[in-house]
A = this chain, B = another copy of it.
């Protein structure tokens, strides 16, 4: 084994995401991740400072991935709010490790500058699209409604609370159906 791992930072991140997706954020241990990567027990700390630092890095990466995906949808059509919701749900299902950390600020350093920046970038996507659809007076409420619905659906689906309702469908497409029924044809929110 070489003294330098090559990319220990990424290896630890990937191992952590594996464990989190399988058993939740409380199941990770820096020492366990070190063993998985074949390095000494204190090596990860050099890249992430401490456990909260590792989870902060995951939250940052998650927000960047999500912002990127939302940006794609906006590039296609900046008026389709439902597409943003579908991508939000799809992101949660495809990156369960990231999603499981992102909205648990008690687990990481919520004031880290890079995190604040990534969060802000994600938030701008949603706000911009909502404002393009709703008047300025109803935009905040519409934003709340959209975010709450997508976030609630994703959260419940990830935790397995919707297994029976979802069956063998694609959850993200089921969410599209749901959002269509809720929003389409209403003056306040959707086209």
Interfacial residues, chain A to chain B (CB-CB below 8 A): 23-27, 103-107, 138, 140-141, 143-145, 147-153, 155-156, 159-162, 165, 174, 177-178, 181-183, 188
A144 CA to B179 CA in the complex, in Å? 10
Number of copies of this protein chain within its complex: 2
User: B141 to A103, Cβ gap below 8 A?
Assistant: no
- Specify the chain B residue showing the minimal Cβ separation from A51: B26
In the complex, besides A104-B159, A144-B178, 18 extra interface pairs with C-beta distance below 8 angstroms are: A23-B106, A24-B104, A25-B26, A26-B107, A103-B161, A138-B181, A141-B181, A144-B153, A144-B174, A147-B152, A148-B148, A148-B149, A148-B150, A148-B152, A148-B153, A150-B152, A182-B182, A182-B183
Would you call A107 and B149 a contact (CB within 8 A)?
A: no
A141-B177, A188-B181 given; A107·B147 CB < 8 A: no
* Chain B residue at smallest Cβ distance from A52: B26
- State A24–B106 Cα separation when bound (angstroms): 6
Residues of B close to A178: CB separation below 8 A: 141, 144-145, 148
